Amino acid sequence: MQVARVGLSMLSSLALVECSSPQAALDGGAHTIAEAGPAADCGQGGACGDGSSPAAPDGGGSAGVEAGATGRCGDGGPIVTLASGQTAAGPLAVTATDVYWTSLGGNTVSKVPICGGEVTTLAVNIQGGVPFSVASPASALAVDATNVYWGAETATAMQGGWTSGPNVVLKVPLAGGTLATIATGGGTGGVRVDHANVYWATDQGGVMKEPLTGGAPASAATGNAPLGLAIDAANVYWIDSMNVMKAPIAGGAPATLATGNDVNVPRAIAVDATAVYWTNYAFSRANGSVMKVPIAGGTPMTLASQLDYPSGIAVDGSNVYWVDDGTSTSPGAVLRVPSTGGTPTTLTSSVNPSAIAVDANNVYWTADKYPNGTVMQMPK
C-alpha cells in the first residue's frame, strides 16, 4: 500500500475571517455528516472566499481571501469560487468547517475551508502502483468527525494500457494520512456514514455496512445494485435503475417506495425527517424531474418537471436543492423548491454542475467538469 500524506492547510493569511456561528451540516444524502464544532458564518464584515468575483483565479487550486472583498457567507454575500483547477470535480460533502470533494482528474480527494482558503489534497488514489479512479455518483463521498470515505474504481496494468479492476471503498483521516481500503466490491454507487457504521453500495446488489470501530462487514440491505445512497437513524435508502427503495438500517426486508413512471433514470437521492427525494435524469432534455415520496410510503409527488438533466440533490428540512447539468446550449443551474411543493427558483446559472450540498447558511456545488472544474458556494 502506498501512503498518501499531506500537510495541514496554512490559514495564517486569513485573519479577516472569523468562523463562529453555529450551524448544522448536511450533504446530499442527509444525516451522514457528523457535526464537528461551530460552523462558519464567514466575514463579520470581512471577506468570504474570493468575494470579488465568481470566477476562479488563474493558477488553479484555491481561492483565498482578498482584503478588499466584501460580503458574508449566508448573509447576502457573493457567489464564491472556493477551488478551481479541479478536473471533473464530483461528489462533495460539507462539515462545520470544510468542504470535501473528489476530482477525477488526478484522482484526488481534497478539502478547503468553507470560509475560503488553501486547498489541501488529502489523498491521491494510488496503492502499490495501481491507479484508482474516484467514483462519480453524487453520494459516493461521506465525512464524519474523523475520516473522509469514498468509492473508487481500480485498474490493473496490462500490455498496452489498463483494464478495470474491482471497485473499492477507501478512507483517509480528515487531516490527511494513510489511505486505507475498507472493502472491495462496492462503493461507486454510494457511501454513507453515521455515528456507528460506514455504509456502501455493492456491485452485486444491496448495501453493506461495517462498524467504525472495526469488525466484519455485514449486509444492511439486499436488492439491485444501487445508483445512489442515503441514510437516516432508522433506514437506508437507495435508487436503482427502476426503483426507490428502503430497508431498516439494523437489517430487514427491503420495501419499494416508488417505481414505474416515477423513476426515470434516477440520478441522486436524499432524505429528511419526513420524505425521500430523488432526481430523474431521464436522458432526454426537458424530461427530467425532482420527486418525493413519504418515508412511510405513499403516492410520489413531482416537485419540479420539464428539467434538462437534474443531477445532485440536497435537502435542509425546508427546501430541496438540486443542480441541472445543462445542455450544449444551456450552461446548467442551481435550483431550489420548497419541500412541500411550490414554484422552483433558479439560484444561479452554472456550467455543468454535478453535485450539491447545503448547510444552515450556504449552498455548495461542483461545476464546470472539464477541464477546469470548480467548487462553488453561495448564500441560500
- pLDDT tens-digit map of 58-99: 112 222 222 222 233 444 458 999 999 998 888 999 999 999
281 touches 241 (CB < 8 A): no
180 touches 8 (CB < 8 A): no
Check residue 284 and give its pLDDT.
77
Q: What is the pTM of this model?
A: 0.80
Pick the CATH number of 25-379 from 2.120.10.30, 3.30.420.40, 1.10.150.110, 3.20.20.20: 2.120.10.30
pLDDT interval class at 154 (50, 70, 90): confident
Highest mean pLDDT among 23-32, 60-69, 310-319: 310-319
pLDDT tens digit sequence for 193-232: 999 999 999 988 899 999 999 899 999 999 888 899 999 9
Mean pLDDT over 351-376 rounds to: 91
Check residue 10 and give its pLDDT.
29
Check residue 319 and give its pLDDT.
98
How many Cβ atoms are within 10 Å of 260's Cβ, its own excluded?
10
Q: Which of 322, 367, 375, 378 is nearest to 93 (CA)?
A: 375
pLDDT interval class at 118 (50, 70, 90): very high
Check residue 65 and give its pLDDT.
25
Check residue 204 and give its pLDDT.
85
Mean pLDDT over 114-137 rounds to: 77
- % helix / strand / coil in the chain, to the nearest 5? 0, 45, 55
